[in-house]
Amino acid sequence: MKAQDQYLKFVKWEETDALYVGYCPDLFPWGGVCHAETEADAYKKLCALVEEEIVELESKGKPLPPPSTRPMREAIPA
Protein backbone atom coordinates (compact mmCIF):
# COMPACT_ATOMS: atom_id res chain seq x y z
CA MET A 1 0.00 0.00 0.00
CA LYS A 2 1.26 3.46 -0.87
CA ALA A 3 1.40 6.02 1.95
CA GLN A 4 -1.20 8.21 0.25
CA ASP A 5 -3.70 5.34 0.18
CA GLN A 6 -4.18 5.50 3.94
CA TYR A 7 -5.67 9.00 3.87
CA LEU A 8 -9.31 9.80 3.21
CA LYS A 9 -9.68 11.92 0.09
CA PHE A 10 -13.00 13.23 -1.14
CA VAL A 11 -14.48 15.67 -3.61
CA LYS A 12 -17.71 17.56 -3.26
CA TRP A 13 -19.61 20.18 -5.20
CA GLU A 14 -19.40 23.64 -3.68
CA GLU A 15 -22.24 25.96 -4.63
CA THR A 16 -20.33 29.08 -3.55
CA ASP A 17 -17.46 28.26 -5.91
CA ALA A 18 -19.63 26.59 -8.57
CA LEU A 19 -16.86 23.98 -8.81
CA TYR A 20 -15.87 20.62 -7.37
CA VAL A 21 -13.48 20.96 -4.42
CA GLY A 22 -11.03 18.30 -3.18
CA TYR A 23 -10.38 17.60 0.51
CA CYS A 24 -7.94 15.49 2.54
CA PRO A 25 -8.57 16.49 6.18
CA ASP A 26 -5.61 14.61 7.69
CA LEU A 27 -3.03 16.37 5.51
CA PHE A 28 -4.86 19.65 4.81
CA PRO A 29 -7.10 20.36 7.82
CA TRP A 30 -7.85 23.94 6.75
CA GLY A 31 -10.27 22.88 4.00
CA GLY A 32 -10.41 22.36 0.28
CA VAL A 33 -7.11 22.34 -1.58
CA CYS A 34 -8.07 22.16 -5.24
CA HIS A 35 -10.90 23.10 -7.58
CA ALA A 36 -12.04 21.74 -10.93
CA GLU A 37 -15.03 21.76 -13.23
CA THR A 38 -15.46 17.98 -13.06
CA GLU A 39 -15.40 15.61 -10.13
CA ALA A 40 -12.80 13.40 -11.83
CA ASP A 41 -10.44 16.32 -12.49
CA ALA A 42 -10.74 17.51 -8.88
CA TYR A 43 -9.95 14.03 -7.58
CA LYS A 44 -6.95 13.71 -9.91
CA LYS A 45 -5.59 17.06 -8.70
CA LEU A 46 -6.25 16.09 -5.08
CA CYS A 47 -4.36 12.81 -5.42
CA ALA A 48 -1.39 14.65 -6.93
CA LEU A 49 -1.37 17.17 -4.06
CA VAL A 50 -1.55 14.41 -1.45
CA GLU A 51 1.36 12.60 -3.06
CA GLU A 52 3.39 15.84 -3.26
CA GLU A 53 2.73 16.60 0.42
CA ILE A 54 3.82 13.13 1.50
CA VAL A 55 7.01 13.30 -0.58
CA GLU A 56 7.80 16.72 0.87
CA LEU A 57 7.23 15.62 4.48
CA GLU A 58 9.34 12.49 3.98
CA SER A 59 12.15 14.44 2.27
CA LYS A 60 12.33 16.76 5.30
CA GLY A 61 12.38 13.80 7.68
CA LYS A 62 9.05 14.77 9.22
CA PRO A 63 6.61 12.09 10.34
CA LEU A 64 3.40 11.66 8.42
CA PRO A 65 0.29 12.58 10.39
CA PRO A 66 -1.70 9.58 11.55
CA PRO A 67 -4.69 8.87 9.33
CA SER A 68 -7.64 9.55 11.58
CA THR A 69 -10.46 10.81 9.36
CA ARG A 70 -12.79 8.08 8.15
CA PRO A 71 -15.97 8.20 6.11
CA MET A 72 -19.22 7.88 8.03
CA ARG A 73 -20.64 4.43 8.26
CA GLU A 74 -24.27 3.86 7.50
CA ALA A 75 -26.52 4.71 10.41
CA ILE A 76 -28.48 1.81 11.78
CA PRO A 77 -32.04 2.82 12.66
CA ALA A 78 -32.94 2.27 16.30
Q: CATH number, domain at 12? A: 3.30.160
Please indicate, yes or no, if residue 17 is contained in any of the structural domains: yes
Instruction: Classify residue 13 by its DSSP letter.
Output: E
Q: What is the enclosing helix (H) or strand (E) of 10?
A: strand 10-14
Find the domain containing 17 and state its range. Answer: 3-59
Sign of the dihedral through C-alpha 40, 34, 59, 8: negative
Please indicate, yes or no, if residue 69 is contained in any of the structural domains: no
Q: What are the counts of helices (DSSP H) followed by strands (DSSP E) for the chain?
A: 1, 3
Structural domains in the chain (count): 1
Sign of the dihedral through C-alpha 20, 25, 28, 29: positive
- Asked if 33 and 20 touch (Cβ cutoff 8 Å), the reply is no
pLDDT by position in tens, the chain (length 78):
889 999 999 999 999 999 999 999 999 999 999 999 999 999 999 999 999 999 999 999 999 999 987 766 555 555
